[in-house]
């Protein structure tokens, strides 16, 4: 009799849960990690690390075992935030302004805000740092974190809070969690959407000693010890969030989602899948996805049907009973039917497309592809590949040549998707100038070939190291939305032997010349990296070199900087320019 009653109650919950949810508008905590692969969880068979809180989150909620994102950071974030394929949002890659999401896209924050929620983001944005692409301009009431693709230092670092720099104390993942918990505490009597996009375990490889040493004692190298240490620190912080929700009686009215933004940032355990970060194969785009809502979403349920980042937006609309506000078509579908259904609905057999582009324009169809219920289709170097992942999950056997007609059909479908998704891409992005002024970092400039970056790629935080010819120049496109007088200054460093070069700054028809008169060279900020980093290191301070005041009219302009004469062999090392509105 007791068994029958238990079964009956379980069946009733399947039927009643959606009905109960119709009366509830839950809070949402969306947790995203950076460069953590599918295999970076003990739940997924990794015996070299321990992630008990994330494992329990998966067990307490519903787990999507075949969940897909984009191969790189910024594209995944754009799709998560909008429910649209990243190419349609204007996001192409991860730097050189190719990471900027169109300002007219509707984000999850704008959606929740329009439905009466308080909105906060704590972590890495990576979809634009200027107005109108900044998180505070994209629906977030509260922002603590950074806008670029990576950060130089993870300890006692400088972050941004709502447009202002703040010096923090401690390890960054702990700091971001503190900020998120303060936001939740301040809004626990209201409805809130809390987005926590951690930047770990992205490089540089920095982690507190206790997490690092734990893995070194296992015989792992410095890189793996750092990454697994960062993952375990994330796990502890996820535990803090879950405990805080429970202690404040919020867990029954809060949806918690966890996922990562792409495959692992290196070769390590990843379930024997092919590919890592940057790859369009399974290992580059398949990630964990857990969703928990106590007493509403089934606990322990595992769904095998493929789903993707574009589905989060429409799923939250349905689960939270939000009024949609976007005029643009959503590419994803709501997963509520799968979550609440008693079987895996067959109509969800669709193609989940992907594409990767590095720092080159225009975007080309190589490399890309899609995942369906049965196949992983890959298009690389104009050569299609086809894998039946139901029989060959590790992609050992390319069956394209054995299925030529099918492969040709799938190639056409992918190329058609790419063409439609990329047809409105704009590669030249203007920096909007308002009364708040604007920073013009050199990594957002167009550079002539002779100028060299310190690190080389021109990623975020890099600076011009070599500038040795009067033929070379840097230029930025500006969209001035408030006519007026603007003061311009250059931020530089140079050795005593380099003092004396003359720099010309031209904006529209106005030109100003300024001489580098003072030597100034700061020390590198100490960086507790466990291995040598790929990114540029952080310099302590940069000297300001005032150029003069420019009268700038509304509209688009080119700001160009070049050397009139070079005293020795190098003009200076340059971080960028800043324009400030002159109120005098």
The residue annotated as part of the active site, out of 53, 126, 215, 309, is 126
What whole-number distance in Å separates Cα of residue 350 and Cα of residue 346?
10
What's the Cα-to-Cα distance from 545 to each of 19, 43, 519, 534, rounded to whole Å? 64, 54, 11, 29
3-state secondary structure 295-344: CCCCCCEEECCCEEHHHHHHHHHHHHCCCCCCCCCCCCCCCHHHHHCCCC
Active site residue 202: no
Q: How far apart are CA 104 and CA 109, in angstroms?
A: 13
Separation of alpha carbons 193 and 109, rounded Å: 7
Catalytic one of 44, 53, 73, 494:
73
How far is it, in rounded angstroms, from Cα 561 to Cα 507? 9
In Å, what is the CA distance from 119 to each residue of 27, 137, 217, 499?
Answer: 10, 12, 42, 49
**Could you tell me if 158 and 525 are in contact, meaning their C-beta atoms sit under 8 angstroms apart?**
no
Cβ distance 125 to 147 under 8 Å?
yes
In angstroms, rounded to a whole number, what is the distance separating the alpha carbons of residues 199 and 235? 13
Instruction: Return the exposure string of 483-501: e unless at least 16 CB atoms fall within 10 Å of the residue's CB, then b.
Output: ebebbbbbbbbbeeebbeb
Q: Are 395 and 281 in contact (CB under 8 A)?
A: yes
Q: What Å distances lie between residue 356 and 87, 147, 360, 379, 431, CA to CA?
A: 10, 21, 11, 11, 25
E-only strand ranges, 15-66? 27-33, 62-64
Q: What is the 3-state secondary structure (H, E, C) of 461-497?
A: CCCEEECCCCCCEEEEEEEECCCEEEEEEEEEEECHH
Is 126 known to be catalytic? yes
| Catalytically annotated residues | 73, 126
């Amino acid at each position: 009799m007791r068994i029958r009653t238990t079964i009956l109650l379980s069946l009733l919950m399947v039927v009643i849960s959606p009905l109960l949810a119709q009366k509830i508008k839950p809070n949402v905590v969306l947790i995203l990690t950076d460069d953590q692969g599918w295999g970076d969880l003990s739940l997924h068979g990794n015996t070299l690390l321990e992630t008990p809180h994330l494992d329990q989150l998966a067990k307490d909620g519903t787990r999507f075992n075949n969940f897909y994102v984009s191969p790189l950071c910024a594209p995944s974030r754009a799709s998560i935030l909008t429910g649209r394929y990243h190419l349609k949002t204007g996001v192409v890659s991860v730097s050189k302004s190719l990471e900027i999401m169109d300002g007219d896209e509707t984000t999850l924050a704008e959606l929740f805000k329009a439905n009466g929620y308080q909105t906060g983001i704590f972590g890495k944005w990576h979809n634009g740092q200027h107005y109108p692409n900044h998180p505070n301009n994209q629906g977030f009431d509260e922002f603590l974190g950074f806008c670029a693709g990576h950060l130089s230092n993870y300890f006692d670092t400088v972050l941004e809070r709502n447009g202002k720099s703040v010096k923090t104390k401690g390890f960054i993942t702990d700091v971001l969690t503190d900020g998120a918990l303060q936001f939740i505490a301040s809004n626990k009597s209201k409805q809130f959407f809390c987005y926590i996009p951690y930047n770990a375990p992205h490089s540089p490889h920095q982690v507190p000693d206790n997490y690092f040493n734990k893995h070194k004692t296992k015989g792992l190298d410095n890189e793996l010890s750092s990454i697994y240490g960062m993952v375990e620190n994330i796990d502890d912080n996820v535990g803090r969030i879950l405990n805080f929700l429970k202690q404040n009686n919020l867990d029954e009215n809060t949806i918690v989602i966890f996922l990562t933004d792409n495959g692992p940032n290196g070769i390590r355990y990843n379930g024997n899948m092919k590919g890592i970060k940057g790859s369009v194969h399974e290992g580059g785009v398949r990630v964990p996805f857990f969703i928990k809502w106590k007493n509403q979403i089934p606990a322990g349920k595992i769904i095998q049907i493929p789903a993707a980042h574009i589905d989060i937006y429409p799923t939250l609309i349905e689960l939270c009973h939000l009024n949609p506000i976007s005029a643009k078509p959503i590419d994803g579908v709501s997963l509520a039917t799968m979550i609440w259904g008693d079987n895996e609905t067959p109509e969800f057999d669709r193609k989940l497309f992907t594409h990767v582009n590095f720092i080159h324009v225009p975007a080309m169809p190589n490399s890309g592809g899609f995942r369906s219920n049965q196949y992983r289709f890959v298009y690389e170097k104009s050569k299609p590949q086809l894998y039946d992942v139901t029989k060959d999950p590790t992609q050992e056997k390319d069956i394209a040549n054995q299925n030529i007609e099918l492969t040709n059909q799938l190639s056409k479908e992918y190329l058609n998707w790419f063409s439609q998704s990329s047809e409105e891409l704009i590669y030249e992005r203007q920096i909007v100038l308002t009364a708040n002024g604007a920073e013009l970092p050199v990594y957002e400039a167009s550079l002539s070939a002779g100028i060299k970056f310190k690190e080389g790629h021109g990623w975020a935080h890099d600076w011009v190291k070599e500038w040795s010819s009067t033929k070379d120049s840097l230029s930025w496109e500006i969209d001035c939305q408030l006519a007026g007088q603007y003061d311009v200054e250059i931020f530089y460093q140079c050795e005593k032997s380099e003092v004396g070069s003359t720099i010309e700054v031209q904006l529209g028809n106005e030109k100003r010349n300024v001489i580098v008169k003072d030597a100034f060279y700061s020390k590198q900020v100490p960086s507790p990296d466990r291995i040598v980093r790929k990114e540029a290191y952080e310099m302590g301070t940069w000297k300001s070199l005032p150029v003069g005041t420019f009268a700038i009219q509304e509209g688009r302009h080119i700001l160009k900087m070049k050397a009139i004469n070079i005293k020795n062999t190098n003009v200076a090392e340059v971080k960028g320019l800043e324009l400030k509105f002159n109120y005098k």
